[in-house]
Amino acid sequence: MKLGREISDGGRFVRQPNRFTARIEADGEYPPEAGRYQLYASYACPWAHRSLIVRELLGLQDVVGVTIVDPIRDEKGWRVPGGDPVTGTEYLSELYLATDPDYQGRYTVPCVWDVTTKRLVTNDYPQITLTLETAFAPWHAEGAPDLYPAGLREEIDALNAIIFDGFNNGVYKAGFATSQEAYDDAVTKVFATLDLLEERLAGRPYLHGDALTESDVRLYPTLARFDAVYHSHFKCAIRRLTDYPVLWAYARRLYAIPAFRDTTDFDQIKRHYFITQTNINPSQIVPQGPEIDWTVG
């Protein structure tokens, strides 16, 4: 394994494991409290995007603070434009190193900082949204959706695993592959997963029926980036999202919800991928288009 690039000897992308995995939970070391935690996120990053969506869907804007980093990373990592008003840091790396001076991995978003103990609690992105949905339930806005209902959790977790492996992370495995075999395997799985989801959504508005859930939140950020970035930049070029009538209608239906639409910034998304990932796009040219109307029903 080549540390930093996360590429195996066979040319396959292997995602860096999350280093900080403490839980925010009642009676734990980090209890849920209004105003205690700060979420660090990027509009460009799909893993962070899901946290921003959930925070807004559940009405937690005044409970969990947020700091948005610049979409363009440099050798120092994610930068906070103008400096972070909560911690005074200019780069997210400072929070990682303040928590663990020996940390040597990538400095990733989303992550959550504890203002009280002055340390990072978690950069475990799959758990962050679940924490917002469960530990922070006492602060959910009236009428907020139950994105992780107890009776559906086993089914949600199972579908989330399929979506992650074949699609959320699958596009990265295709885009960062450095061998033809690794790319072929990954891109085939990406479109097999899209085919499965197209079939699953036929006749139902959301992935688990009539109600929005955590699975929909996890799927959407990758759908939103697909035609704009992954189709060309990551070579996921067999079909476009707009070639899937059911999935395309579903994606626009989600986009019509303010929490999804207001956290979707196509300009930041494109600039991040095409400018930052110079191993794939050394010219750093940001392409124009595609001209897609997400507001059409």
Query: Which residues have a catalytic role annotated?
Result: 45, 172
Q: How many CA atoms lie within 13 A of 46 on its CB side?
A: 21
> Which residue has 């859930």 as its token pair?
213
131: nearest Cα among 223, 62, 49, 60 = 60
Q: How far is C-alpha 296 from the chain's CA centre?
A: 24
CA distances from residue 228 to 6, 149, 164, 233, 242 in whole angstroms, order as listed:
24, 33, 19, 9, 11
The rounded distance, in Å, linking the Cα atoms of 96 and 75 is: 15
> Which residue has 């469960």 as its token pair?
134
> Which residue has 């940390």 as its token pair?
103
Q: How far is C-alpha 212 from the chain's CA centre?
A: 17
- CB 98 within 8 Å of CB 118: yes
What are the residues whose beta carbons fall under 8 Å from the beta carbon of 135, sequence distance 6 or more? 23, 24, 25, 26, 32
What would the DSSP string read from start to end of 26-50? Answer: TTSSB---TTSEEEEE-SS-HHHHH
Report H helices in the chain.
Answer: 46-57, 93-99, 125-134, 153-163, 170-175, 180-201, 214-225, 245-255, 258-261, 266-271
The DSSP code for 72 is -
